[in-house]
């Protein structure tokens, strides 16, 4: 085991003064000499920047002057980081005692992970918010294990995708990847990054000894549906290998049709339609990005698909997710996809993910 890695914590603030008053003291008590805190403020009007100056005067505060979104602000702050390990931390995710040592452990122990997450708790750190985000083959992702009691003796493990509530990436890996897609603004940027890593042969894990208490609430602005749906499809178009994308295309089309009455009933049909308009405008750029991403692919389509699921195991999918008929049909479809993808296949020669990482 080598020297203790230095940590650069990045927090994106937007109207989060109250959350920062809870999170910053907990975070600062976990940092060591040589660590740094960088806060990117998206033009908050509630005094978030003043709270940072008051509670963490040594922090580097980047005032962006406008709301650039979570992804772009995180990229801006990360570009200024100098630590061995970059940690993206939500302003409402308060580190618990021992977090500082535990979040460095995968890098210090040289586990070969290219990104990892903390155990994200909620309800006063008594229940799970997420222990890794499952990803459905249609691009849906959700908080895995949400609502269950905290595990008594959890062990480090690999997960399909890491949550951006507390995401750790060696700085060299982050720079090699190019960070988050800034156009996403909000949502799915952590899924995109995790699955790009998997496409490039990287590993994504959960360090359960690092715990944050996240003030999680799924609800919010109706506009979030536009971002969620747009970014879900953008991530699929960018990251899925061609063979997999072709095989799931019929399911994606049916999903889009099925979501129209759901969106209408939920009052977010305008946001759903706007997500399609965004995607149409983005398409030329997405195709360019797709070519660049796929040129670095290190695993077969079958190996990549092994991290996806046909099940909709989240209460937010309601009766559809609980339906035995739907589950049976989705599983049968997915078995067919996997069978057609075969057992493996040639791996394109390319630079492996995080080749410059420790």
Q: Is 112 exposed, middle or buried (0-12, 13-18, 19+ CB in 10 A)?
A: exposed
pLDDT at 152: 85
Mean of all residue pLDDT scores within the chain: 93
pLDDT at 317: 86
pLDDT at 346: 40
**Whole-model pTM?**
0.92
Q: Does pLDDT of 352 surpass 60?
A: no
Cβ contact 8:85 at 8 Å: yes
Cα 219 from Cα 110, distance rounded (Å): 38
Per-domain residue ranges for the chain? Answer: 7-214, 223-341
Q: Is 199 exposed, middle or buried (0-12, 13-18, 19+ CB in 10 A)?
A: buried
Average pLDDT over residues 26-42: 97
Tokens for 255? 């999903």
Average pLDDT over residues 295-314: 96
pLDDT at 343: 67
Q: Which CATH number fits domain 7-214: 3.40.50.1370, 3.40.50.1820, 3.40.50.280, 3.90.550.10?
A: 3.90.550.10
Can you name the residues that pair with 85 across neighbouring β-strands?
7, 170
Q: CB-side exposure of 292: number of CA atoms within 13 Å?
A: 9
Cβ contact 199:302 at 8 Å: no
pLDDT at 240: 98
pLDDT at 316: 81
pLDDT at 33: 95
Cβ contact 130:120 at 8 Å: yes
Q: With bands split at pLDDT 50, 70 and 90, how would you rate the model's confidence at 98?
A: very high
Provide the angle, in degrees to the nearest 10, between the axes of the packed helices 70-79 and 189-199.
Answer: 60
Q: Does pLDDT of 232 surpass 80?
A: yes
Q: CB-side exposure of 266: number of CA atoms within 13 Å?
A: 19
Cite the beta strand spans of the chain per DSSP E. Answer: 7-13, 36-41, 60-63, 85-89, 93-95, 115-122, 127-130, 157-158, 166-170, 204-214
């Amino acid at each position: 085991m080598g020297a203790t890695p230095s940590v650069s914590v990045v927090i994106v603030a937007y109207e989060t003064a109250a959350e920062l008053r809870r999170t910053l003291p907990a975070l600062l008590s976990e940092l060591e000499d040589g660590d740094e805190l960088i806060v990117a403020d998206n033009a908050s009007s509630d005094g978030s920047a003043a709270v940072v100056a008051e509670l963490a005067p040594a922090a580097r505060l980047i005032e962006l002057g406008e709301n650039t979104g979570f992804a772009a602000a995180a990229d801006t702050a990360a570009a200024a980081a100098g630590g061995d390990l970059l940690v993206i931390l939500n302003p409402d995710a308060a580190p618990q005692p021992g977090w500082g040592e535990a979040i460095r452990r995968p890098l210090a122990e040289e586990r070969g992970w290219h990104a990892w997450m903390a155990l994200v708790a909620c309800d006063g750190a008594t229940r799970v918010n997420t222990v890794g985000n499952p990803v459905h083959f249609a691009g849906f992702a959700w908080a895995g294990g949400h609502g269950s009691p905290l595990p008594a003796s959890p062990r480090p493990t690999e997960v399909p995708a890491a949550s951006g509530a507390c995401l750790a990436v060696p700085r060299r890996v982050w720079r090699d990847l190019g960070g988050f897609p800034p156009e996403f603004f909000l949502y799915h940027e952590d899924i995109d990054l995790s699955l790009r890593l998997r496409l490039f042969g990287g590993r994504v894990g959960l360090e359960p000894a690092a715990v944050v208490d996240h003030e999680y609430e799924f609800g919010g602005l109706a506009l979030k549906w536009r971002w969620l749906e747009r970014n879900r499809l953008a991530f699929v178009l960018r990251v899925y290998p061609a063979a997999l994308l072709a095989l799931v295309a019929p399911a994606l089309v049916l999903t889009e049709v099925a979501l129209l009455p759901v969106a209408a009933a939920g009052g977010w049909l305008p946001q759903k339609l706007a997500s399609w308009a965004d995607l149409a405008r983005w398409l030329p750029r997405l195709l360019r990005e797709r070519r660049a991403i796929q040129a670095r692919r290190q695993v077969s389509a079958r190996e990549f698909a092994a991290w996806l699921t046909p099940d909709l195991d989240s209460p937010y999918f309601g009766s559809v997710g609980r339906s035995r008929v739907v589950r049976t049909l989705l599983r049968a479809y997915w078995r067919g996809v996997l069978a057609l993808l075969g057992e493996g296949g040639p791996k394109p020669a390319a630079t492996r993910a995080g080749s410059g990482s420790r």
